[in-house]
Amino acid sequence: MFNPTAQSVAMKNSPVVTTQKRKSTFSLPSLNAQTIDWTNAPLELASVRNCPHFVNTLQTYFPGALPLPVYMERTVQALEEYGFEDENTMGMIAICRDEITDPLYEAVVKYWGKTFNCCSLGGFVLMGKTGLAAAKGHTPLLSGLRRFTFYAMPHIAISRYGKVGEVSREGIADASHACGALEAIVAELEMGKLMIEMDMQDIEQTIIRQKILSQLKYGDRPDLVGITQLASQIISADVGKLLSSLDTNVFHYSVMTGIQIHGPLESQWIYPQDFYIAGKAFGDGHIGINAFT
């Protein structure tokens, strides 16, 4: 049912540009423990090769996922060719409030400097027009142009034993879970008990639930992987809708969506979905960028 693939990296109905990639210090041609070139892998990732169950699960559900540092390098390198640089661009990010997502937040700040926080439970984009109005007023104005990069995605954990949804956290003996907000909806679907009324004491979760349910057919009960993939699609669509009101004569922006994956040994991975830029100087509509294959 929900089966986004690595091929969906480029927006449908958009021209696709293949960008020359900066030579990465760590190549990951395919996620197979036997074929990954671990030679130049960062130390924390090299240890992951000893977790074959994790690698197999990652490859099965998220083929083409990249280590976070490689993903960031690819997006930054690609965007430089379109004039996006740390000095003239503000970061924006919508990921889950969970502190386990911090490495992605920190990576966006590292590459793009000042970053507008659009985070909510599950990584859903709930900032609305008011939030966007504030953010766009903060973007640097240089030679009549304002630029920002927008990273938005849900997250999921995979344990060293290949168990989806499980992660170990510092100071907590038992296996912990991610994403808890999405897991709660999976559990409600399994029980057949859905809290569909607006709960003013739980507004974010209420909206997430409504957004997901509105995309399901009666009787659908996707598992955590399915719900997370669906969340990624909803977030991608919501970002596109939110930013469609911007005047592209003034705003040049890029959007990067996908799924953040927490692996063993604190490794972080990104399964890319959309990567595109928008701006009058680039022509009408979005230009999809293929920087991951």
CB nearer Zn ion, residue 81 or residue 223: 223
Q: Is 98 one of the binding residues for Zn ion (CB under 5 A)?
A: yes
Total residues at the site for Zn ion (CB under 5 A)? 3
Contact positions with Zn ion (CB under 5 A) in 158-197: 179
Minimum distance of Zn ion from residue 95's CB (angstroms): 8
- Supply the minimum distance, in Å, between the C-beta of residue 234 and Zn ion: 14
Which residue number, 177 or 286, has a Cβ lying nearer to Zn ion?
177
Cβ proximity to Zn ion, 101 vs 149, nearer residue: 101
CB of 66 to Zn ion, least distance (A): 20
Say how many C-beta atoms besides its own lie within 10 A of residue 50's C-beta. 12
Identity of the residue, 81 or 202, whose beta carbon is nearer to Zn ion in the bound complex: 202
Stretch of 96-104, 106-114, 156-164, 239-247 contacting Zn ion, by CB under 5 A: 96-104
CA gap 46, 60 in Å, rounded: 20
* Selected range binding Zn ion among 89-97, 131-139, 161-169, 256-264, rule: CB under 5 A: 89-97
- Show the tokens assigned to 79: 């965007």
Q: How far is the CB of 233 from Zn ion (least distance, A)?
A: 17
Whether 109 and 115 have beta carbons less than 8 Å apart is answered as yes
- Interface residues with Zn ion (CB under 5 A) are 96, 98, 179
